[in-house]
C-alpha cells in the first residue's frame, strides 16, 4: 500500500532542512507509535522497516525511546512509562472482556486517578 501525505511546500522544506528522508522519518514515526500501541509485533516492525537484523531493530527502538519487550540491557523503560503501559494494557483488556470494579470500568478508574 502506498500512502500519500500532503504537506504544504514551505513546511516540507522546513521539515526536510537537514536533508533527511522525510518519507522514511514519517514511516518510522508511524511504525514506532503503532508498536507502542501494540498494533505491530517486533517481527512486523522489523519487516515494515526492512531491517535485516535484530540489532538494527533494537537500535531503532532505543533511538525512538521505545522499550524492547525482551528487556534487553539498556532498554528498560522508565518506571512511569512502565506503569502507563501497564495501565493502558489493563484498560484495553478490561474493555475487551467487559470487566469492572463495583460497576466502574477500568478505563473510568484510570481517568479518575489522573491529576
- Pairing state between β 104-105 and 100-101: antiparallel
Q: Who contacts 36 (Cβ-Cβ below 8 Å, separation ≥6)? A: 66
What pLDDT is stored for residue 73 in this prediction? 45
How far is residue 24's CA from residue 91's CA, in Å, rounded to a whole number? 32
Residue 12 has pLDDT above 90, yes or no: no
The pLDDT score that the predictor gives to residue 40 is 92
pTM of the model: 0.57
The pLDDT value recorded for residue 44 is 94
Q: Which helix (H) or strand (E) holds 34?
A: helix 22-36
As a whole number, mean pLDDT of residues 71-78 equals 50
Residue 74: predicted pLDDT: 47
Domain assignments of the chain as residue spans, ordered by start = 1-75, 77-115
Amino acid at each position: 500500500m502506498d500512502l500519500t501525505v500532503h504537506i504544504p511546500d514551505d513546511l516540507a522544506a522546513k521539515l526536510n532542512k537537514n536533508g533527511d528522508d522525510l518519507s522514511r522519518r514519517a514511516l518510522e514515526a508511524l511504525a514506532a507509535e503503532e508498536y507502542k500501541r501494540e498494533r505491530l509485533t517486533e517481527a512486523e516492525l522489523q519487516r515494515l522497516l526492512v531491517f535485516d537484523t535484530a540489532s538494527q531493530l533494537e537500535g531503532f527502538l532505543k533511538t525512538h525511546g521505545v522499550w524492547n519487550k525482551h528487556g534487553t540491557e539498556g532498554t528498560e523503560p522508565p518506571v512511569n512509562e512502565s506503569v502507563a503501559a501497564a495501565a493502558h494494557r489493563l484498560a484495553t483488556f478490561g474493555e475487551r472482556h467487559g470487566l469492572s470494579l463495583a460497576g466502574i470500568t477500568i478505563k473510568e478508574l484510570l481517568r479518575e486517578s489522573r491529576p
